[in-house]
Structure 1
Amino acid sequence: MAGQKPFYVTTPIYYVNDKPHIGHAYTTLACDVLARFKRLDGYTVKFLTGTDEHGQKVEKSAMAKGIAPQQFTDDVSQNFRDLAAAMGYSNDDFIRTTEVRHKAACQALWTRLLEKGDIYLDKYAGWYAVRDEAFYSESELKAGPNGEKLAPTGAPVEWVEEASYFFRLSAWQDRLLAFYEANPDFIAPESRRNEVLSFVRGGLQDLSVSRTTFKWGVPVPGDDAHIMYVWLDALTNYITAVGYPDTDASDYKQFWPANLHMVGKDILRFHAVYWPAFLMAADLPPPQRVFAHGWWTNEGQKISKSLGNVIDPYQLVERYGLDQVRFFMLREVPFGNDGDFSHQAMVGRMNSELANDFGNLSQRVLSMINKNCNAAVPNKGPLTEDDEAMLGSAYALLETVRGQLDRQVFHEALESIWVVIRAANGYVDRQAPWGLKKTDPARMETVLWVLAESIRNLALLMQPFVPTSAGKMLDQMAVAADARSMAHFGAAGALVPGSALPKPEGVFPRYVEAEATAS
């Protein structure tokens, strides 16, 4: 809509050589919560995810299966679309690097960098890890168990010598450092910013940006013997999706530079060093912010295919429920840190926080209203100091949570919400509306109105995290579908006494372990 502020958030594009796992689900979930919140908060949102489909790894995997790379990527890319649907993500676009629009954007960017003198032809000789699609200097390598050379990630490396185009990354060291200095919020969290500063201050080498030893990629314009380095190709997706190379396209003008690239910490260097250098070299503005989150372990163990402990998001959702999984992933761990998935922690969060704290609060308040207030929003009488304090803490939440989500501290946003949920439970116990029923029914109605109104505001804020459950809670308070945005937060959207309410039902069931069947 005209006049609305734009918000453009992206996930990394996921490499199709992999089956979707909890890491993919986690990154996209964080972006989904931001996209949902911003839409509710009056922004025009573009939320992009997609798949990275070029490179040597993909070509090798396709050959091993005896199928063409395009067929291989068609099949595997669909897995990531399916995950987005299963996890309830609200992405507005899904990009594939094999699309015609993307090839055009990559070749336009390349041509621009060549014209500007930032790309030149030379010969590459050095260490390359196919698994990481990355080049490494001798000093970065480590010895493997049998004395073989390995990348810092543990990936095997091979010595590569071939003609290659290079990007003059070395020329960008001082300009990048000046950019980081002028934009202190460009890289988050702080620990990751420090890593990048240290890396760039250590000196930048020119970057090999083309390969000739395989063919699965975007051809270099005017030199078909070369294909573009997969990271130059992959990073360009963020501008492809807003219409580049047409910088007059409405999406480009509205959404670029992106507000946020959300990435895993393992790909921070590509996004915080190479990408802004490519863009500035092409006279294009860099994104506003890159946030690198941590990794998950499984019951304390590193997740790996060899250990067989990869966490399948589909199985989690089937076992615990979609909203419960969404809540846990952003509640359990300070966002940006590494986190551990454990069944015990999952059940603990579901039962103590969702079922007991929030679900039970909503269920008992709405049940009392249903039983004692003619199944309608109670009358609101004069407010006491305690009532004002309860409502005030609920009404103050939007500003707090808005600031926390702008810093991507999802765990803090949820804790702020939970402080008010716990306060509401304390208020119920203090006011004891079940006792007021006999002694002061008018006062009982006021207390129940304050509680219902507090729950309405809490449910509004929980919509981005647990969309289905928060929606059910708002249904039970007869909040109209067009009254669920943040414009209706606080007194502006307060519940109207006398409005009919449906019979309440539990929203967050307790998780009960299935009984082991006797053999």
Structure 2
Amino acid sequence: MAHDENAAPAGAQSFYLTTPIFYVNDAPHIGHAYTTVAADVLTRWHRQRQEDVWFLTGTDEHGQKVMRTAEAHGVTPQEWADRLVESAWEPVLTTLDARNDDFIRTTQPRHTERVRSFIQKLYDDGEIYAGSYEGPYCVGCEEYKLPGDLVDGTGDLEGSKLCPVHGRPVEMLSEQNYFFRMSAYADRLLALYEEHPEFVQPASARNEVVGFVKQGLQDLSISRSTFDWGIPIPWDSSHVLYVWFDALLNYMTAVGQGSADPADAEKFARTWPADVHLVGKDILRFHAVIWPAMLMAAGLPLPRTVFAHGWLLVGGEKMSKSKLTGIAPSQIIDHFGSDAFRYYFMRAIPFGQDGSFSWEDLSARYNAELANGFGNLASRVAAMIGKNFGGALPAPGSPTDAEEALQAVATKAVADAEDAIDRIAPHEAINAIWTLVDATNMYLTEQEPWKVAKLPGETAGGAGVEGGRLATILVTAAEALRVLAVLLNPVVPKAATGLWTLLGAEAAVGPLDAQDVRTVAPFGQLPAGTTVTKGDALFPRLEDPEEIPGAPTTA
């Protein structure tokens, strides 16, 4: 890239993606799971390209919000964080079938020690100074608000100024703090957004950030002295570091920045800068304004992209534990399974926009697209190979225009899905993949292999004939399924693994994870004689969710 601060280390081959680190004030809901699944799908896709991938997630455990939650439960903040991480935040990764490489906690010494080193250097370089601040503060956001950010309360809250995100009255705080000279970086930030529009995505998010910075930046209060749950300021232990200044640094501390260990230094050089920070749009400014300013001040490379996705809505409002609108991922996954959860949220909501969760829509898509569209396709092909060729993939005959057309759909599906992933548009990638599902179903409908099997010369002694038309049709359909297994492995890994097993592909062409998505499209990779088995349904039919006790209501 032309911009030095965005230059990757020489020889870097890695793909590094992060989720936000999540507050431990409560258990995860499907809004948190949405971000995590998106991160997992994107990183699994890059793994399918055989890239060196690092996927980081974790928990943000300091700050006033966590401290107050712990106090309300009669435990220390550390005890509360330990309890929530062990009982909820780490287990949900397994529930979602997420394949993260690391889990960072901001109370870990590897983080706290490196953070103290980072801010000490900024202080020594004159980027931090002492001052005082008074203003409206939202504990939920852990952020001082500008007067223009607030909304007027109504009803019982009439006369109060509310945080627009949490809908709660802000608190007026006045304290002596240390400040980061963020205002000095306004022009450099605007130049960054201008020269590197990919730095903030989607375009609507970038426009918001540019408008915000053009209004002028204030210096940032980065310490608190009214409570003690945080990382102590190295030069003044009566202050703890502002939770966001602490939390943002996790993206670097987790991959070795600030460590004296040569192995950590090597990992940091290989991994940083991050390729993608996935964030919810409510925390966009922290990541697109404060974070790059911090890195500029420290003389460190900037991440390549901050991508702000939309909110999951319930009844038209952002999903929130504080408003009792949170739905636990297990409420959905216990019935539909993790694959269906992952598929639904990645396909039904255009990534970057808000979207409402609907139990009925999920049920309809499960049945129409996963059970009938994809799962039934796999079962039909396996059953016909079993019936006509004893479960051994036959040698095909010469392809016709119909086979060439399906091959063209597969080639285009791979190219379009690849392009969508690079644009961080997983919904478009799945749409592209589904063109091959639909085309293969249509191919079978039009070619009618069940009728071809009854034609003269297609069977001998009750078995299909090698090299015949029936063999060509079934081999072509099996090849389409092979392509689909690879393309869908990042999205529905359990079903994709089941399909790979059904096709006998492990013995024929190797492990599913080892298939390079970029070379998967050409048909003819499954050798004749490959054992195909019907196996269990990839997406079994499920009972009507309206009959399930405790099912979430329509959003």
Q: Do Structure 1 and Structure 2 share a fold, with TM-score over 0.5?
A: yes
Contact 1:97–1:237, Cα closer than 8 Å, also in 2: yes
Q: What is residue 278 of structure 1 aligned with on the other side?
A: 294
What pairs up with 1:165-176 in 2 under 5 angstroms? 165-176=178-189
Q: How does 1:112-123 map to 2 (within 5 A)?
A: 112-123=121-132
- Cα-to-partner distance string for 1:195-226 (whole Å, 9 max, x where unaligned): 10110111111110011110000011111011
**1:64: Cα distance to partner?**
2.1
Match of 1:72 in 2: 80
CA deviations over 1:202-256 (Å, ceiling 9, x no partner): 1111110011110000011111011111000000000011101148612101110
Q: Residues 104, 510 of structure 1: CA spacing in aligned structure 2 closer, same or farther, 3 A cutoff?
A: same
* Aligned residue among 540, 548, 555 for 1:509: 540
Paired position in structure 2 for 1:52: 60
Note if contact 1:107-1:220 (Cα within 8 Å) is conserved in structure 2: yes
Query: Deviation of residue 438 (structure 1)?
Result: 2.2
Q: Does the CA-based 8 Å contact 1:370-1:504 persist in structure 2?
A: no
For the pair 1:185 / 2:198, whether they are aligned, the reply is: yes
> Any gaps of 5 or more consecutive residues in structure 1?
none
Correspondence for 2:93: 84
Amino acid corresponding to residue 495 of structure 1 in structure 2: L
Which residue does the alignment assign to 1:259? 275
Conservation of the 8 A alpha-carbon contact between 1:354 and 1:508: yes
TM-score normalized with structure 2 length: 0.89
245, 250, 256: which one pairs with 1:232? 245
Contact 1:299 1:341 survives alignment (8 Å)? no
Is contact 2:279–2:308 with CA below 8 Å preserved after alignment? yes
The amino acid across from 1:85 in the alignment is: T
2:15 to 7, 12, 30: 7
Provide the rounded CA distance (Å) in 2 between the counterparts of 1:138 and 1:483.
54
Correspondent of 2:477 among 430, 445, 451: 451
Q: Give the equivalent residue in structure 1 for 2:341.
A: 325
SS in 1 for 2:437: helix
Q: CA RMSD in A?
A: 1.8
How much has 1:139 moved relative to structure 2?
3.0
Residues 300 and 211 of structure 1: CA distance in aligned 2, closer, same or farther (over 3 Å): closer
1:150 pairs with 2:159: no
Give SS of 2:198's match. Answer: coil
Q: Once the 2 structures are TM-superposed, how far is the Cα of residue 483 of structure 1 from its aligned partner?
A: 4.9
Cα distance in 2 for residues equivalent to 1:447 and 1:165:
71
Query: 2:545 and 2:412 mapped to 1: Cα distance?
Result: 41
After superposition, the C-alpha distances for 1:103-140 in whole angstroms (9 at most, x for unaligned) are 11211110121122211111112221112100012333
Q: What is the rounded CA distance, in whole Å, between the counterparts of 1:65 and 1:96 in structure 2?
A: 21
Q: Which runs of 5+ in 2 are unaligned?
A: 1-10, 459-467, 549-555
Q: Is 294-303 or 500-509 further displaced after alignment?
A: 294-303
Q: 1:301 to 1:198 in 2, by over 3 A?
A: closer
The whole-number CA distance in structure 2 between the counterparts of 1:302 and 1:15 is: 16
SS at match of 2:453: helix
Identify the match of residue 346 of structure 1 among 349, 362, 367.
362
2:486 and 2:512 in contact (8 A); partners too: no
Please give the alpha-carbon distance, in whole angstroms, between the structure 1 residues aligned to 2:173 and 2:545: 55
1:72, CA displacement in angstroms?
Answer: 1.0
Q: 1:344 Cα deviation (Å)? A: 1.2
Residue number in structure 2 paired with 1:376: 392
By relative contact order (CA 8 Å, sep 6+), the higher-ranking structure is: 2
| 2:525 counterpart of 1:494 | yes
How far did residue 301 of structure 1 move?
5.6
Residues 168 and 56 of structure 1: is their aligned pair in 2 closer, same or farther, counting only changes over 3 Å? same
Residues 86-485 of structure 1: matches in 2 within 5 Å?
A: 86-145=95-154, 146-153=158-165, 154-246=167-259, 249-298=265-314, 302-305=318-321, 308-439=324-455, 440-441=457-458, 442-480=468-506, 481-485=510-514
> Is the 1:483–1:493 Cα contact (8 Å) retained in structure 2?
no
Letter in 1 for 2:73: K
Count of aligned residue pairs for this structure pair:
515
Q: 1:12-33 deviations in whole A, cap 9, x for unaligned?
A: 0000012210011000000111
Deviation at 1:315, TM superposition (A): 1.0
Q: Using a 3 Å threshold, how does the CA distance of structure 1 residues 199 and 37 change in structure 2: closer, same or farther? A: same
1:460·1:485 contact (CA, 8 Å) conserved in 2?
no
Q: Which of 9, 12, 31 matches 1:23?
A: 31
Report the 3-state secondary structure (helix = DSSP H, G, I; strand = E; otherwise coil) of the residue aligned with 1:512.
coil
Aligned residues of 1:257 and 1:285 also touching (Cα < 8 A):
yes
Instruction: Map Cα deviations across residues 411-461 of structure 1 (whole Å, 9 max, x no partner).
Output: 111111111111111111111111111225211100111110011101111
> What's the CA shift for 1:396?
3.4
d(CA) in 2 for partners of 1:515, 1:56? 41
**1:188 offset after TM fit, Å?**
0.9
C-alpha distance in 1, partners of 2:337/2:148? 47
Q: Contact (CA 8 Å) 1:324, 1:350: kept in 2 or not?
A: yes
C-alpha displacement of 1:176: 0.1
CA–CA distance in structure 2, aligned partners of residues 103 and 425 of structure 1: 55
Q: Secondary structure at the match of 1:227?
A: strand
Counterparts of 2:322 and 2:521 in 1: how far apart (Å)? 51
Evaluate the alpha carbon distance shift between residue 224 and residue 300 of structure 1 in structure 2; reply closer, same or farther with a 3 A threshold.
closer
Percent of aligned positions that are identical? 46
Secondary structure (helix, strand or coil) at the match of 1:506 reads coil
Distance 1:419 1:118 in 2: 54
